[in-house]
Amino acid sequence: MKKRKLGMIISDISAKISLATPEELAKYNVNILARSYGLSAPNLCRAFQKRIPLKLGWYLRYLKLRAFEKMIKENPDMTVSAALKILDIRSQSHFGEMYKKRRNMTPGDLAVICQIEREQAERSAT
């Protein structure tokens, strides 16, 4: 495939996944993206990493992590399992390990912190 066309595909994918809603983001993984553009997963990953200095799989996980945080912060009453279901993350324990490794707290800790901050904001407002 020509480099120019591949560059356009990578730009399209990057824009599509970075602007995706949590529900849309849940539908994306490396294999699905590769198939939708007629590429193999390894070729897509190599091309993505050449253009954007990140691994595509890692970038998708990062975006899901950010979407999770945004959902919990915007709606502190949302449970961790409900947020993970929206993002189509099937292994709550694996996500918890990954989240703790990157943020030094569990997803449940984030939910509790957001709940406390919301309660403090409500008290301050009255």
Of 65, 16, 13, nearest in space to 41 by CA: 13
Rounded to two decimals, what is the model's pTM? 0.85
pLDDT of residue 2: 65
Domain ranges of the chain: 3-125
CATH 1.10.10.60 assigned to domain 3-125? The reply is yes
pLDDT at 71 over 70: yes
pLDDT of residue 85: 93
**pLDDT tens column, 13-61:** 999 999 999 999 999 999 999 999 999 999 999 999 998 889 999 999 9
